[in-house]
Amino acid sequence: MSEKIQFSRALKTSVKQMKRSGWLAWASVSVMTLAFLVIQIFLFLAYSTNLFLQFIENKPHIYVFFNPGTEEQTIRDLQEDFQANSSIDFIEYTSEADALTEFKQHNNTSNPIASEAIRENVLPASLAIRLNKIEDAQEIIDLAKIAQANNPEDITNIGFSQEIINNIRDVFLWVRVAGSMILILLLIVIFFFTLLTVEFRMFSRAKEIGIMQLVGGNLWYIRMPFIIEGSIYGGLGAFISTIMVLLVGIFMFIIQAGSPTISFISNFFGDLDWIAITPISLGLVFIISILAGIMLGAFNSVFAIRNYIK
């Protein structure tokens, strides 16, 4: 019961301190809002970049071409053999007729002469192999070459570019490493940025803290109001920044949905594997953001007040 009373008193003291702070309270909330706005924008960009990299990584990079006239059942049997490998995510079969149709559709406008000149039984059937991870490309290439050696009368060519595969793998690795380093650096900068605001708030009340110590105030009784105050500032900042991000999203993709820029963005990123936006997912974003703000505000207050309570 005494703990509840102490917390209630600390909460009342925090509210009084916030009312007395005036512009300093608004400055603290503004700093927290700005900090979380930067974090949320960067996390969204990092998430979008990762989805885009996965989209490119999961595109077919290996093609198995078959001699014209190869029976479909033979190709299907080989497809099942490949699909049994856990490194393969998906295999798309394209028949000779489908290959001809795709070629004509692609060249009807850009190269109508070639589209008209092409004849049946010219373009081969193929299997387009999509991998779970680009790092497994060499394993599947070797597997396809073994299949070609065992079926030389059916498989005419294995299509891949080792240089492109290696470049994609290296680029993905460096982008992810660089993104992780930037995120860590950004979090450190934001931590010290928000800490400066808390330190300034503590400095303005240094005499008050000293008096409370002189009259024999309990250390936790002195600390608790500042920790609660920092938690409130952090939670408010996270809440406001999340509302701002959602309002921008609503304005861009609902109110301005018909604009050429938004249409281009939707078409360009529409094929990515986005998380479904539902009331539950939005609620989780709010809860996680607010909890993170409360934790950051409380931790900064605990860290800062140590310099004033001996």
Highest mean pLDDT among 63-72, 165-174, 273-282, 285-294: 285-294
Identify the burial level of 234 via C-beta atoms within 10 angstroms of its C-beta, where 0-12 means exposed, 13-18 middle and 19 or more buried.
buried
CB 109 within 8 A of CB 80: no
pLDDT tens figures, 238-292: 899 889 888 887 777 665 556 666 666 666 666 666 777 778 878 888 899 889 8
What is the average pLDDT value for the chain, to the nearest integer? 76
Q: How far apart are CA 198 and CA 188, in angstroms?
A: 15
In degrees rounded to 5, what are phi and psi of residue 95? Answer: -75, 170
Q: How confident is the model at residue 183 (pLDDT cuts 50, 70, 90)?
A: confident
> What's the average model confidence in pLDDT over 219-245?
82
> What's the average model confidence in pLDDT over 211-215?
65
Query: What was the pLDDT predicted at 51?
Result: 79
In degrees rounded to 5, what are phi and psi of residue 65? Answer: -100, 140
Domain ranges of the chain: 2-56+169-305, 62-160
Query: What was the pLDDT predicted at 18?
Result: 67
pLDDT at 1 over 50: no
* CATH code for the structural domain at 62-160: 3.30.70.3040
Position with higher pLDDT, 1 vs 285: 285
CB 87 within 8 A of CB 136: yes
pLDDT at 296 over 80: yes
What is the end-to-end Cα distance of the chain in Å, rounded? 28
Query: What was the pLDDT predicted at 213?
Result: 63
pLDDT tens figures, 86-107: 888 888 888 877 777 776 666 5
What are the residues whose beta carbons fall under 8 Å from the beta carbon of 218, sequence distance 6 or more?
Answer: none
CB 272 within 8 A of CB 48: yes
Q: Which of 237, 225, 250, 248 is nearest to 302 (CA)?
A: 225
pLDDT at 34 over 80: yes
Question: Is the Cα torsion angle 135, 137, 139, 140 positive or negative in sign?
Answer: positive
- List, edge to edge, every strand of the sheet that includes 155-159: 88-94, 126-131, 62-66, 155-159
pLDDT at 185 over 80: yes
> What's the average model confidence in pLDDT over 40-60?
78
